[in-house]
Amino acid sequence: MSTQTPGQRAAHTIRGLAMDAVQQANSGHPGAPMGMADMATVLWTEHLKVDPADPRWPDRDRVVLSNGHASMLLYSVLFLSGAALTLDDLKRFRQWGSPTAGHPEHHEVPGVETTTGPLGQGFANAVGMAMAERRLREELGAELVDHHTWVFVGDGCLMEGISYEAAALAGHLGLGKLIALFDDNGITIDGRTDIATSEDTTLRFEAAGWTVLSVDGHDHEQLSAAMAEAKAAGARAGRPTLIRCRTTIAFGAPTLGGTSKSHGSPLGAAEIAATKRALGLDPERHFDVPDDVLAFFRAKNPARAAARAAWSARLEVSPARARFDALHGDLPLSTVAWPSFEPGKPVATRKAGQMALNAAAKALPGLVGGSADLAGSNGSTINGEPAWSRSSFAGRNIHFGIREHAMAAICNGLALHGGLRPYCATFLVFYDYLRPAVRLAALMHLPVIYVLTHDSVHVGEDGPTHQPIEHLWAMRGVPNLHVLRPADAAETAEAWRYALARTDGPTVLALSRQDLPVYDRARLGDPAGLHQGAYTLREAATGTPDVVLIGTGSEVEVALDAALKLEAEGIFARVVSMPSVERFRSLPRAAQAAVLPPGVPRVSVEAGITLGWQAIVGLDGASVGIDRFGASAPGVVVAEQLGLTPQAVAAAARSVLRPV
């Protein structure tokens, strides 16, 4: 043990913690944290700009563990460096109520910058964080914003398609303060990586505009030199850096090291004892953390606290203080001059959405976003603002390119960084590409806004590949994701207000391609009812409805027309606009009953599958929708042929009415 350097001794301590925690939990991934222990030790003790006493310091370096199955690596270094975790937390790895979950969770542990586990997501999050740093540095100056984003990645992260999308954009934008540490161990769960890939990772990243360095991932001097060179090269050439760290999975394990068997299972007591002896650790001691290792990891903490205090002092006197506070404080939504719309003059909700977006952008300097190559169609451009480019991040528009998956994950990174409020846009049918990142935004309670236009079969001639059918209910099934499908321009402005006011999760704005009527609110319900998820748009002429017709988005017009047909027959219908099913269902029962009176039959109408509506209309209700794929024809023809008509809704209403 005496021949080991302090850094090697610290790295071996991490290996011991990883082996012990996985063994005690009888579950987990020991191999990756053992292989990456040297990388993490060098980064935390020599290069990282953080203050463990203030893990949310705005100008800290960000560290992302994209290969989140290696969570014991992150938990170990956070504990060793003096962050919020305790040794007892490590001992309770993967247990109910423990902050040390199987994969790192952002909201559970200060110092965990993002929730990772689905491979490649963290890599794209890191690109978003680096983009946020660059944008805020140009806005506020390097004296307030000047930090790096570090991301650990494994072979799995780089095989996932999202990494290709995100790496290409990072290289295109020249994110010089983004540094990826590649755990190049050549092993996946099923065996060596060469069973599935023969790609040259170096050439791939160089082609994408990255600097690539290669080192022995267990040599501390090489690692430190490469990290220093990456920072210097990023500043010099304006290129992100990938450091290929050649490592051995389960480093030190005599029979399982370098094998896929160490990837996702405990090593076993005998192998752990042999490994500890090989590393100079006491095989009889578990979760052993020598005092000198703690001292080594925490030696720079006083200097780190002083650096953070100096930053705070600079902030106090900075000419940019007011802008900093505006970007990092609550959104002043009361100052937004929301657009108004002329009743009777049709307008597509995607166009109304762009008007609302631009009204909000005038008052909210941190609002940034863009589209996956559909900005004109989505109405997602902030007028008068340039787009981010390699040469300047001064504007607020982002060209994500045709990279929907990375776009959503990058927006998660923008939101996680702080100081910016991101939105992104594409066609609603392409939610399928966004879904993994949207799910993680909901899991992390990130207030990302998704502008998803062309929301129904009214897309028309592009045909069923571009006509969303099952997507609305797929989105509604994601916990903590709020889906808003406004019925007209006034509801659309309220939807933007709702989405921006929401701070505990993401929101979808599902907007129409086609023009929709702007309703006369002097005769119909207040569009602010959107904020409760559903409201009475038109009351039955008698005041007591025989039936309630529920519509969303463009089908609210269908419900209104059906109500008029029924009224001519002496059947009186209340028409309810329900832009957000999940928001409405979160209301107290009394509030729900005020909109949907118990005992009154209900009929829903929506341009999508009817699955899910039974929970709203009940067993005695009916749903008009589309339980098949669409067709290529003009949108109005498709809607009519598939039964989205007032006649169909009126017929459904007659079918649910009880005999007098």
Structure tokens at 386: 């340039």
Q: What are phi and psi of 97, to 5 degrees?
A: 80, -5
- The closest of 538, 501, 491 to 341, measured between CA atoms, is 491
d(C-alpha 366, C-alpha 505), whole Å: 17
Structure tokens at 503: 């701070």
Angle of CA points 399, 402, 406, to nearest 5°:
80
Tell me if residue 574 falls in helix, strand or coil. strand
Asked if 387 and 414 count as a contact pair (C-beta separation under 8 A), the reply is no
How far is Cα of residue 213 from the mean position of the Cα atoms in its chain?
Answer: 30
d(C-alpha 44, C-alpha 69), whole Å: 19
Active site residue 404: yes
d(C-alpha 39, C-alpha 53), whole Å: 23
List beta partners, residue 212: 242
d(C-alpha 326, C-alpha 148), whole Å: 23
Angle of CA points 304, 307, 312, to nearest 5°:
130
Structure tokens at 611: 């699955």
Angle of CA points 19, 20, 26, to nearest 5°:
90
Q: What are phi and psi of 605, to 5 degrees?
A: -145, 125
Tell me if residue 407 falls in helix, strand or coil. helix
Structure tokens at 424: 């992104």
Contacts of 571 (CB under 8 A, 6+ apart): 546, 547, 653, 654, 657
d(C-alpha 15, C-alpha 72), whole Å: 9
Asked if 210 and 167 count as a contact pair (C-beta separation under 8 A), the reply is yes
d(C-alpha 369, C-alpha 356), whole Å: 14
From 105, 113, 404, 555, the catalytic residue = 404
Longest dimension (CA), the chain: 95
User: What is the residue whose two structure tokens read 């008029």?
Assistant: 564
Task: Report helix, strand and coil shares of the chain as percent, to nearest 5.
Answer: 45, 15, 40
d(C-alpha 429, C-alpha 463), whole Å: 11
Q: Which residues are catalytic?
A: 404
